Amino acid sequence: MPRLLCVCLLAAGVLPGAAETPEPGKAYFGRNRYVEYIAGDLPFVLSAPHGGREKPEELPDRAKGTFAFDTNTQELARAIDEAFVARTGHHPHVVICRIHRRKVDCNREIVEGAAGHPLAEQAWKDFQGFIRTAQQAVVARHGKGFYVDLHGHGHADARLELGYAHDRDEFALPDAELARPEFIKKGTLQFFALQDPAGYPALLRGPRSLGGLLEQAGFPATPSPAKPVPGSPYFNGGYNVRTHTAPGTGFAGLQIESHSKGVRDTEASRRRFAAALVEQLAAYLDAQMGIRLPTKPAAK
């Protein structure tokens, strides 16, 4: 009896199969709990590939690549989940890599990310598979969705770096260049931005861009009206955001590289930033994608 089998598998918290409906707010795990998926029911998917702290001995240290740990981004992802629940009464989909970047890099293609080790490859596949599971659930329920890949940078300029897969010097181009459909197709907002090419420069760096909204909420960001051309260094968006906003996914999105102080350094910072991010995302998604997040009914 398939239905009973489903219930048993879900109760054990294993990878949900294609026919399953994961329970919002419940955590599911890949092999050895290296990757965690908190299922959601909002049209929003959040991932944190570099906030893992665990260093299991069965996985060798990778010899080549980048190993920087994005401090507290796992905790920030959980705070963002809580902020969505506080505002909407519903969960986003959240995918977290719980092991250290020394062991696996879930924001690189598998050859560099897992360095050829089968168990690291399994963790990488669990991470990417959960994101796909989440996106498919969102598209089935809502028709489209928004994706954020969450990171932390240590650059001197304490500012959120928003990555749309455009190089930093491209933001210095005239508006007419940015509004070309061929340019928009290189970016991570193409799912909806192609409907209004002339509006694309403002979508990246105008007052109603996500950078503009976050700055108005007190969090310096780039690109934005205050800093329309990012400085150097600048992280412009990696493997995950490019892969999971590609044509056919039904998703737009961006990479958020966060500075530490006031954003992710303390529990109070994380709670404050998470609440602001969710508030601004709600306005942005409504205005740009026609996605209206529910509002939590007032407590009686």
Which residues between 60 and 79 bind Zn ion (CB under 5 A)? Answer: 70
Which residues between 126 and 145 bind Zn ion (CB under 5 A)? Answer: none
What's the number of CA atoms in the CB half-sphere (13 Å) around residue 275? 8
Would you give the binding string for Zn ion spanning residues 254-293, x where CB under 5 A is met?
A: ----------------------------------------
Buried b (16+ CB within 10 A) or exposed e, 249-282: bbbbbbbbbbbbebbbeeeebbbbbbbbbbebbb
Min dist CB 70 to Zn ion, Å, is: 4
Tokens 């209004």, residue located: 196
Phi-psi region of 262 (alpha: psi -120 to 50; beta: other; left: phi over 0): left
Check binding of 108 to Zn ion (CB under 5 A).
Answer: no
* Residue 122, phi then psi, degrees to nearest 5: -65, -45
Check binding of 161 to Zn ion (CB under 5 A).
Answer: no
Check binding of 98 to Zn ion (CB under 5 A).
Answer: no
Which residues between 215 and 254 bind Zn ion (CB under 5 A)? Answer: none
Give the count of residues interacting with Zn ion (CB under 5 A).
3
Min dist CB 32 to Zn ion, Å, is: 22
Min dist CB 273 to Zn ion, Å, is: 17
Q: Give the Cα separation of 256 and 277 in Å (integer).
A: 11
Which residue in 174, 163, 195, 250 sits closest to 184, CA to CA? 195
Check binding of 170 to Zn ion (CB under 5 A).
Answer: no
Contact pick of 16, 22, 34, 50 for Zn ion (by CB under 5 A): 50
How far apart are the two ends of the chain, measured CA to CA in Å? 41
Query: Among the candidate windows 47-55, 80-88, 119-127, 186-194, which touches Zn ion by CB under 5 A?
Result: 47-55
Among residues 42 and 76, whose Cβ is nearest to Zn ion? 76
Residue numbers at the binding site for Zn ion (CB under 5 A): 50, 70, 151
